Amino acid sequence: MMLSSVVRNLFSKPATRPFPVSARTAPDGYRGAVAFEEDVCIYCGACATRCPANAICVDRVAKSLDFDPFKCVQCGACAEACKKGCVQLQIDYQHPVTVHGTVTFHGAPKPTEAP
């Protein structure tokens, strides 16, 4: 019994795929990782309001957005709520994050009035 398993495994394809040589394609329905376009964002806070995991915090006055990827459940609610389309779900491979922290985006500074 064991000898037949050993022989069968010697002459069959490997169960895993060599990652750099053949990358896995995303399955149907894969939502991907959340990505922000800070140049387009108007910091309205719609994405933060719809986020069920509270992974997004928007400060409208300071025009900043804090995103915590460890809280994100990649549900896509933020992308659906964004009126400008600056929140998107990308299917590209994301490298694992080893340090916990938030990603902060800042908008254009407010123009100062001349005296």
Residues 64 and 106 sit within 8 Å (Cβ to Cβ): yes
pLDDT at residue 79 in the model: 93
pLDDT in tens, 77-111: 999 999 999 999 988 766 666 778 888 888 765 55
Distance separating the N- and C-terminal Cα atoms of the chain? 90
- Which pairs with CB-CB distance under 8 Å and at least 24 residues apart come from 41-44? 41/65, 41/84, 41/86, 41/105, 41/107, 42/84, 42/107, 43/107, 44/83, 44/84
Question: Is this structure's pTM higher than 0.75?
Answer: no
pLDDT in tens, 29-76: 777 889 999 888 999 999 999 999 999 999 999 999 999 988 998 899
Is it the case that residue 113 has pLDDT exceeding 60?
no
Domain at 33-107, CATH from 3.30.428.10, 3.40.190.290, 3.30.70.3270, 3.40.30.10: 3.30.70.3270
